[in-house]
Amino acid sequence: MNTEILKKTAQKMVAKGKGILAADESTPTCTKRFESIGINSTSLSRNEYRDMLFTTDGLEKYISGIIMYDETIKQNTISSNTPFPEYLNNKNILTGIKVDTGAKKLAGSHNEKITEGLDNLRDRIINYKELGASFAKWRAVINIDTENMLPSNACLFANAHALARYASICQESDIVPIVEPEIIMDGNHDIEKCLMVTKSTLNIVFEQLKLMNVYLEGIVLKPNMIICGKNCIKSCSKEAEKVADYTLECLLETVPKEVPGIAFLSGGQSSDLATKHLALMNQKLKESEIWNLTFSYGRALQQDALSVWKNKDIKLAQNKLLHRAKMNSLASQGLIN
């Protein structure tokens, strides 16, 4: 493990004014999104779509890295037939790779998941590094179910341990791990319940990271914001200040200051709302509180571009992506309302 490489890569991923484009949708997920706009999902159409995203002129001004799926990291640009990692490296954009194999039912539990993919992970990480990856991503899924007293401690510890093992294996090969424990915003839980569960989750995650000797200056945390469930009577869209305050409170109480940056997931929020909450947090965060707060959005960056790409208007789609990236860049600096 080369701590200097890990530290420099992590700092570059969360550099002020830049964020991460999550383009790591699995083939089934990408297929669902294509079907929603009437596009047939094939290896070629997915290649064309990712090519549209990655070749956007000026994207490097706002995006530090792009997370890819296994299929994508092995594909090339359409015009020059250049491998995507090589093309992005020439634009000063880092290549990332999703390495978990999905969330499956946690045995002995009620409606809880455990993320799998540790088998052969070391070999896969080495292979992805040879393909050009500088960082990786692993997503744990935590459900809140107040009626059934979930999440259980078993679910929290199992997923935190898997995240820590993944992070340790990544760092062996000088690959920066994005640590993503996501509280799923389905259900009717309120914002206070989200705060309590997220605090517990992050405390356990960092306990397990420490146990596995993970170098904290060489990771990026990708958490959820503190928002209420989709079916909560009180809509968080009316409580933007509270979302920002609760999220900062959670981070300040749980995240060690050695962590260089936090790249939020959007968690099903609208594109505008995810940007607004990010901006508010950066306006409230004091410089003495260390981390850079930025974004690692998928749909919240891509949706507008996808909606017009179906008409094969590549330039307009790229302009939509660039606008979203720019707005979130400004939000990550607290420069917009």
Q: Which residues are catalytic?
A: 180, 222
Both tokens of 173, joined, read: 């090969």
Both tokens of 42, joined, read: 């094939």
- Bridge partners, residue 76, by sequence: 83
Residues 112 and 152: beta-carbon distance below 8 Å: yes
Q: Which residue has the tokens 């088998």?
A: 119
Selection from 322, 337, 318, 287 nearest residue 16 by Cα? 287
**Amino acid making up residue 288:** S
CA distances 104 to 84, 97, 139, 264, Å, are 30, 20, 12, 23
How many Å apart are CA 73 and CA 77, to the nearest integer? 11
Selection from 225, 129, 137 nearest residue 182 by Cα? 225
Residues 164 and 208: beta-carbon distance below 8 Å: yes
R_g over Cα of the chain: 19
Both tokens of 311, joined, read: 């008409």
**196: Cβ contacts below 8 Å, ≥ 6 apart:** none
